[in-house]
Amino acid sequence: MEEQLAELTARIAELEASAAVTNTMFAETYYYLTIPLMIIIHAGFLGYEMGATRMKNVLSSGVKNILAFAFMVPTFYWFGWWVYWAFPTGVTFSVGPAGISGAEYANAIALGWGEAAQYMGPNIADQASGVFWGAFTLFACTTASIMSGALIERIQTVGFVICAIVLGSFAWVVAAAWGWHADGWLVTQFGVHDFGAAGLVHAVAGFFALGVLINLGPRIGKFNSDGSSNDLRGHNLPFTVTGLMLIMVGFWGFLMACIIVPGEAWSWYPDKATTIYGTPITLSALSFNILMGMGGGIIGSWAFTRDPFWMMSGCLAGLISVASGLDLYFPSLAFIIAFGAGMLLKPAADVLERWGIDDAVGAVTVHGTIGIYAMVVLGIFATGYPALQGAEGEVARISLIGQIVGSIVFFLLGFVPGYIVSYILKMAGMLRVPDHVQINGLDPVKVPAQAYPEGIPASPAASN
Amino acid sequence: MGFPYSEADWAVVDGAMFMGAGGAMTGIYTAITIVGSIILLWKCNRVEQSLYESSEN
């Protein structure tokens, strides 16, 4: 009997060890797969902004988007990852209530040298750090790509790369530390809830772009002397629309990466998937609300514009508008909110243009304005929901005031660094491409390749 | 709308957690989306037909 019990105990231990290996491999594979999915976002933005560019500048737009990706990777390795872990409690760099933040913690796990380097390179005892770092690096690439499209056809390449580094490896990372990390002061003190990063990724990137656009100025020919504007159409609308659809594909990976899987030492629960705040979520919840958000945004834009560019922008806006509460919305409510975002899109972009801002792809509106809309709408509908995992009375709850405070902070974290860094670049003569180059085209001057050596025939013009 | 459980703690949630769970709002939201979509299609069809007519002139 005792022998059988010992055998059974050994067998159970063996099965538990096997299950743990399977769970760890699942968790690692889960985040690993979000990385190529998010690279599709970057591919989409590449097509989106190249299509929205006139033929004489198309490869220059492509070059800067590719460089945004390339520079995000090492800079996020050098200091972006450290910023995320060091900043949650604010500029005190102290440890927060969850004990996974502060300068000391960041120094121990997120530096590419010394003792911390064991977590920043191949290590058979660590199957989490690399995939988490990779997923966050692609979040950073997404912010840089969001800004990239707004600035096409007149920004210098190195000046753009510097802006992208400040945004992707610092500004949005601080926003994520404050409003996403379980120790983030916006979360613990104000109950800010932004599951899918509508505020801390989209709004920060959109308003960073606005800060840069103010110093960069419009493309030559965009505005007339009387203040009226001209429509500088891109050379390939189908390319732009397809790019937007690719972005939508990639966002499934982006949002998947916002989930903490169960059963690992770093998980919130042994048996339940959670948001980054430790509150419950399922992939099914995402499926319901992402699709309803996409559908609502497209329909809202179609009803008011009938323009495929704005319809696909509406698709993205619809998704962003419900991103903060993808874990909490009822699908029909998500559809209604996204429909509102789709309707809001074009008028909001028109207002920006009337202010003399030349946002070539509507990035400030789609990501900035709709990002803030998402934050505030969640504050209206989700007031009273616990913002974090924890007992009643011990954790902050979601509130309209908290969401508004979060929105203001995210706006400032985007706009202020964007304005300052672009102002410095402007003073250094590194921001705007000289007028004669803009007139002749950036590609003939800067790119040793030709986009369309055999040309593209024009399609019939729209009759209305 | 408020948290749909008596205790504001996610630990008590073992089922539906969305806004309006267990209440009438879910049906109201769904009804709004259905009726709104039908009205929208009707209005957009009128616009489309007028575009066809104007293209004949």
Q: Where are the domains of chain B?
A: 23-56
Closest CA to A171 of A213, A127, A202: A202
Would the pLDDT of B18 be above 90?
Answer: no
- CA of A272: which chain B residue's CA is closest? B14
- The SS3 assignment for A223 reads strand
Model confidence over A140-189: pLDDT tens digits? Answer: 999 999 999 999 999 999 999 999 999 999 999 999 999 999 899 999 99
Contacts of B30 in chain A (CB under 8 A): 332
- The answer to whether A121 and A397 have CB atoms below 8 angstroms apart is no
Tell me how far apart the alpha carbons of residues A192 and A407 are, in angstroms, rounded to a whole number: 9
A277 touches chain B (CB under 8 A): no
Tell me how far apart the alpha carbons of residues A262 and A264 are, in angstroms, rounded to a whole number: 6
- Taking the CA of residue B15 and the nearest CA in chain A, the distance in Å comes to 10
DSSP calls for A314-374: HHHHHHHHHHTTTTT--HHHHHHHHHHHHHHHHHHHHHHHHTT---TT-HIIIIIIHHHHH
A384–B8 CB contact, under 8 Å: yes
Contacts of B17 in chain A (CB under 8 A): 280, 327-328
Q: Is residue A365 part of a domain?
A: yes
Contacts of A301 in chain B (CB under 8 A): none
Model confidence over A273-318: pLDDT tens digits? Answer: 999 999 999 999 999 999 999 999 999 999 989 999 899 999 999 9
- The SS3 assignment for A257 reads coil
User: How high is the pLDDT of residue A17?
Assistant: 93
Q: What is the largest CA-CA distance in chain A?
A: 96
Rg for chain B, CA atoms, rounded: 21
- The answer to whether A313 and A362 have CB atoms below 8 angstroms apart is yes
- The answer to whether A261 and A281 have CB atoms below 8 angstroms apart is no
User: How high is the pLDDT of residue B23?
Assistant: 86
Angle at A381 between CA A342 and CA B38, to 5 degrees: 45
- Reading the block at residue A5, the tokens are 């019990």
pLDDT band at B20 (very low <50, low <70, confident <90, very high): confident
Residue type, A267: S
B-facing residues of A in 81-100 (CB < 8 A) are: none
- CA of A393: which chain B residue's CA is closest? B8
Rg for chain A, CA atoms, rounded: 23
Model confidence over A87-109: pLDDT tens digits? Answer: 999 989 999 988 899 999 999 99
Sequence-ordered alpha helix ranges (H) in A117-184 = 129-150, 157-166, 172-179
Report residue A418: phi and psi, to 5°.
-60, -45
Contacts of B32 in chain A (CB under 8 A): 332, 336
CB-nearest to A463 from B33, B40, B55 is: B55
- Taking the CA of residue B28 and the nearest CA in chain A, the distance in Å comes to 9
Give the A:B interface size as CB pairs under 8 Å: 73
- The answer to whether A178 and A155 have CB atoms below 8 angstroms apart is no
Tell me how far apart the alpha carbons of residues B25 and A332 are, in angstroms, rounded to a whole number: 10
Residue type, A417: P
Report residue A50: phi and psi, to 5°.
-65, -40
B3–A302 CB contact, under 8 Å: no
Whole-model pTM above 0.90? yes
User: How high is the pLDDT of residue A464?
Assistant: 59
Contacts of A297 in chain B (CB under 8 A): none
The structural domain count of chain A equals 1
Contacts of A303 in chain B (CB under 8 A): 40, 43-44
pLDDT band at A457 (very low <50, low <70, confident <90, very high): confident
B3–A391 CB contact, under 8 Å: no
Q: Residues of B at the A interface (Cβ-Cβ below 8 Å)? A: 1-3, 7-11, 13, 17-21, 25-26, 29-30, 32-33, 36-37, 40, 43-44, 47, 51, 54-55
Average per-residue pLDDT for chain A: 94
- CA of B5: which chain A residue's CA is closest? A385
- The answer to whether A271 and B11 have CB atoms below 8 angstroms apart is no
Report residue A177: phi and psi, to 5°.
-60, -40
A402-to-A90, A180, A376, A408 alpha-carbon distances in Å: 17, 14, 9, 10
| Average pLDDT of the segment spanning A55-59 | 95
Model confidence over A215-233: pLDDT tens digits? Answer: 999 999 999 988 889 989 9
User: How high is the pLDDT of residue B7?
Assistant: 74
User: How high is the pLDDT of residue A463?
Assistant: 64
A282 touches chain B (CB under 8 A): no
A384 touches chain B (CB under 8 A): yes
Range scoring the smallest mean pLDDT among A50-59, A253-262, A265-274, A341-350? A265-274
Q: DSSP label at A31?
A: H
User: How high is the pLDDT of residue B57?
Assistant: 66
Give the H/E segment covering residue A274. Answer: strand A274-275
Sequence-ordered alpha helix ranges (H) in A181-330 = 185-190, 204-216, 237-256, 283-305, 308-323
| Average pLDDT of the segment spanning A341-362 | 94
Residue A151: half-sphere exposure toward Cβ, Cα within 13 Å: 36
A455 touches chain B (CB under 8 A): no
Domain hosting residue A387, numbered range: 25-446
The domain that holds A222 is classified in CATH as 1.10.3430.10
| Disruptive mutation site among B3, B6, B10 for chain A (greatest number of A CBs within 10 Å) | B10
User: How high is the pLDDT of residue B1?
Assistant: 63
- Taking the CA of residue A393 and the nearest CA in chain B, the distance in Å comes to 8
Tell me how far apart the alpha carbons of residues A359 and A208 are, in angstroms, rounded to a whole number: 12
- Taking the CA of residue B10 and the nearest CA in chain A, the distance in Å comes to 6
